[in-house]
Structure formats: structure tokens, C-alpha cells
């Protein structure tokens, strides 16, 4: 943790969170790096986002939708990944910008960047240069294809990586219908892996006193979540293909039609299969359905039999019948339904913040909660600040740097 005492320049100062007192300099833009730093900010770290003067983070221009006044529109994309941060605009090609960044790095615990390999080096902020300035600094670097290797220089964008890393070949209605995941999953996962890695590096720093470089990539993150589809390829020698809304290794497990709608079921054990079959008049011991392996091999006939059984029920009635029988089931909700759902609200997954331009807005909330000993008292940080407008905190940060200059050992 930085030894420098600072005053948090955010309007909503916070004392809670496991990372309270840590300072993160966020040099990233778009989504992978900003998602990682937002996770750290949610945990109580002070995150200072360094942006390009005039335009800021690329995502400030990504839309529609934009919200707010016509002369100052705000991108909802930017709002999705920058809560609980401060913003300072710095031209890193200028002497002033490099000097201010150097002062920030001197005080920081963590720096996060997702430039293409070599860009920061040319600006004078290679890992070696940053560690010469601050040996305790933990540096997280996120790239598209990895920082080395024969294709390291390629630009990494989420959908391109979803295709290159095989995820699209697994997603869609069938082998001839590759589909991207409905959110930028490569960006999000690389941010999550990155945050995980730098927290491990901070723990190691507690023992050694020295920082290190943590590297991940969109490619690595997607290969890292191949899960059973990966070992299906590397061990069993099979090449998985997309097969729509049904599990490739478990049956029945997926989305099934009913009267006027559809429901999802997950039958993950033979006990559940027996209960499900008995509830809907299916022969659990039928030869082609007797075990999960049989049901997977004979999926087409099983799907037809289940669709016939479900056709008598509307979705609400069917879901209640499944619940009464102890069968894991659910419906497919639209996002507006999700954010009105009592269960989502009970988990703190919707938060209200006061935005500099937009006023009071609601944002998707942090996915982690924390509790004290014996799970008795919740210690989750519940005070949040809105994503900043460009350079919103720049003057305050510069004043803080000037005030604390003499307190930094050089």
C-alpha cells in the first residue's frame, strides 16, 4: 500500500472496502482495462483514470445510446465501466503530461494499461522505467493476443478474439451459425483475470516489498474459459460445435418450448432425471434414456418428447410445476425485467449515483459482497460515485500532487 497519505478527491469519499488506501493509476481505455480498474474501485481502491485531453476514453464516443443534454451527450457504454473513478486529462506526449504521470506513478500501488505492445515504452514508461521510479509498483498489462509471440502486434478487439479463440464456433444455433456472445466477453474476462492477477501480485508484495508485471490478454482469457470444451478437444480429440441452447454433455439441459413461450431446465443427475420423468409421464428407464450418456446420444428424440409434454402448460404454470417437483428451471428475462427483479435488487446489483451532468442515475452494481466474522455483519462498501466527466478531478489531483510533493521520498 502506498505510504503517502492523501485526501480522496471524489465527492463521495469511502472508507470501506478491502482495498481502501490503495492507489490505482488507470491508463487503460475501452473495456478490458477499465473493467479491471472498476473492480478495484468497487473494492475501495482510489482509481485515477488518465484520459486523452479533448476526447477522453474511446468509449465516451461509443453510441448511441447517448443520454443527457444535446450539447454534452454522455455515452451509456462509458457509464458501464467507470464508476467510482476520478478523471484527469493528460497529454502523455507533452512534458507536462509525462511529469504529472510520473508523480502519480511515484505514489501508486498499481498501474493498469492496455496499449498495444511497445506504445508505453516509446512514451518513456516501459515497465523498467516505471519500476525504476517505483519498485513496489504492480503493473497490469492487457493486450489482444499477448505481449509476445508471432502475432503479438495484432490489434485486439473483442469480436475478432471471440472468433480467433474459438468461442464463436461454440456459440449459435448450429455449426453453420457462429454467433458472438451478447456482451464483450473477451474484454470482460481479460479484465477479471487481470484484476485477479494483480491482487495476487499485491499479496506477494506484502512478502517481498517489490512489485512486478502481470500480463494477460483477450486471447488468454477466452482460452482460459474453454473449460470442458477445451479438454474435450485436447484429451478426447473431439472438435466441439455450436448446438444452440442445449448442453453438449448433459441431457436434458437447455431451453424447451411450452404453450406460448419457453422455459429452461437443468437435469444434472440421475435422481433429478427420475423425478422429472415421473412428473411429466416419461419412462425414466427407457433404454435410450437410461443414463445421461444415453440421453445425450439420443437427444433429438428426448427433446421432442419433452416438448410434447410441455405443450400442455403455459410458462408460468410450468415453472411452478417444475419448482414443486424440485427441478431446477427458469425463464429467459429481458434486461428491463432483470433490473426490476426483487432478487437482483436484494443483492445490491442496482445502485444510484449522482452524475455531474445527468444528475441521479441508476447503474448495474458490483457483484461482490463482504461480511464480517461468522457472516453476521455486512461490510460491503455501499457508497459509490458516478463515472466521471472528462478531467472532472484534474485540478484537484494536480493540487494534491503539489501539496504532497515534499512528502514523497525521492
DSSP per residue, 190-236? HHHHHHHHHHHHHHHHHHHS---EEEEEHHHHHHHT-HHHHHHHHTT
Q: Whole-angstrom Cα distance, residue 306 to residue 275?
A: 14
DSSP per residue, 144-175? SS-SSSTTTTS---HHHHHHHTTHHHHSSSST
Residue 187 catalytic? yes
Residue 240 phi/psi, 5-degree rounding, is -65, 150
Q: Which residues of 239-248 are buried (b: 16+ CB within 10 A; e: fewer)?
A: ebebbeebbb
Give the ranges where 325-369 is alpha helix by DSSP (H): 335-338, 342-346
313 contacts 258 by C-beta, under 8 angstroms: yes
Q: How many CB atoms neighbour CB 311 within 10 A?
A: 12
Closest CA to 213 of 123, 121, 150, 149: 121
Q: Whole-angstrom Cα distance, residue 247 to residue 147?
A: 34
DSSP per residue, 262-328? EEEEE--SHHHHHHHHHHTT--TT-GGGSSHHHHHHTHHHHHHHHHHHHTTSBHHHHHHHHHHTT--
For the record, the C-alpha cell of 60 comes out as 465516451
Give pairs for 225-232: CB < 8 Å, separation 24+: 225/189, 226/166, 229/170
Q: Whole-angstrom Cα distance, residue 405 to residue 184?
A: 40
Q: Whole-angstrom Cα distance, residue 344 to residue 334?
A: 13
Residue 120 phi/psi, 5-degree rounding, is -65, -35
Which of 26, 57, 187, 391 does the annotation list as catalytic?
A: 187
Q: Is 120 helix (H, G, I), strand (E, B) or coil?
A: helix
Residue 329 phi/psi, 5-degree rounding, is -155, 165
For the record, the C-alpha cell of 237 comes out as 480429440
Find the farthest-apart pair of alpha carbons in the chain and give their distance in angstroms, rounded.
80
List the catalytic residues: 187
Amino acid at each position: 500500500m502506498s505510504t503517502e497519505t492523501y485526501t480522496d478527491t471524489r465527492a463521495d469519499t469511502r472508507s470501506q472496502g478491502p482495498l481502501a488506501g490503495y492507489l490505482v493509476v488507470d491508463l487503460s481505455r475501452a473495456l478490458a482495462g477499465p473493467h479491471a480498474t472498476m473492480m478495484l474501485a468497487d473494492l475501495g481502491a482510489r482509481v485515477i483514470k488518465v484520459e486523452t485531453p479533448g476526447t477522453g476514453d474511446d468509449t465516451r464516443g461509443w453510441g448511441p445510446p447517448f443520454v443527457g443534454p444535446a450539447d454534452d451527450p454522455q455515452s451509456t457504454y462509458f457509464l458501464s465501466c467507470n464508476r467510482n473513478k476520478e478523471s484527469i486529462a493528460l497529454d502523455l506526449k507533452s512534458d507536462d503530461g509525462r511529469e504529472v504521470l510520473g508523480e502519480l506513478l511515484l505514489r501508486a500501488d498499481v498501474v493498469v494499461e492496455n496499449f498495444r505492445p511497445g506504445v508505453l515504452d516509446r512514451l518513456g514508461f516501459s515497465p523498467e522505467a516505471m519500476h525504476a521510479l517505483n519498485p513496489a509498483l504492480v503493473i497490469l498489462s492487457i493486450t489482444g493476443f499477448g505481449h509476445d509471440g508471432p502475432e503479438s502486434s495484432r490489434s485486439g478487439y473483442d469480436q475478432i478474439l471471440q472468433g480467433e479463440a474459438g468461442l464463436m464456433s461454440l456459440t449459435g444455433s448450429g455449426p453453420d451459425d457462429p454467433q458472438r456472445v451478447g456482451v464483450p466477453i473477451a474484454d470482460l474476462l481479460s479484465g477479471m483475470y487481470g484484476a485477479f492477477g494483480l491482487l495476487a501480485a499485491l499479496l506477494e508484495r506484502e512478502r517481498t516489498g517489490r512489485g512486478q508485471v502481470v500480463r494477460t490478454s483477450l486471447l488468454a482469457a477466452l482460452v482460459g474459459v474453454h473449460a470442458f470444451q477445451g479438454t474435450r478437444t485436447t484429451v478426447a480429440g473431439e472438435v466441439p460445435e455450436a448446438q444452440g441452447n442445449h448442453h453438449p454433455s448433459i441431457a436434458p439441459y437447455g431451453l424447451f418450448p411450452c404453450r406460448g413461450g419457453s422455459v429452461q431446465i437443468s437435469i444434472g443427475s440421475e435422481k433429478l432425471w427420475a423425478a422429472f420423468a415421473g412428473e411429466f409421464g416419461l419412462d425414466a428407464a427407457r433404454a435410450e434414456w437410461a443414463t445421461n450418456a444415453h440421453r445425450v446420444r439420443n437427444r433429438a428424440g428426448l427433446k421432442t418428447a419433452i416438448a410434447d409434454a410441455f405443450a400442455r402448460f403455459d410458462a408460468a404454470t410450468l415453472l411452478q410445476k417444475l419448482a414443486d417437483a424440485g427441478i431446477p428451471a427458469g425463464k429467459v428475462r429481458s434486461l428491463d425485467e432483470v433490473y426490476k427483479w426483487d432478487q437482483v435488487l436484494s443483492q445490491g446489483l442496482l445502485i444510484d449515483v449522482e452524475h455531474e451532468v445527468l444528475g441521479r442515475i441508476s447503474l448495474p452494481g458490483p457483484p461482490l459482497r463482504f461480511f464480517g466474522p461468522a457472516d453476521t455483519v455486512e461490510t460491503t462498501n455501499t457508497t459509490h460515485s458516478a463515472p466521471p466527466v472528462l478531467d472532472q478531478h484534474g485540478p484537484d489531483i494536480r493540487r494534491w500532487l503539489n501539496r504532497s510533493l515534499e512528502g514523497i521520498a525521492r
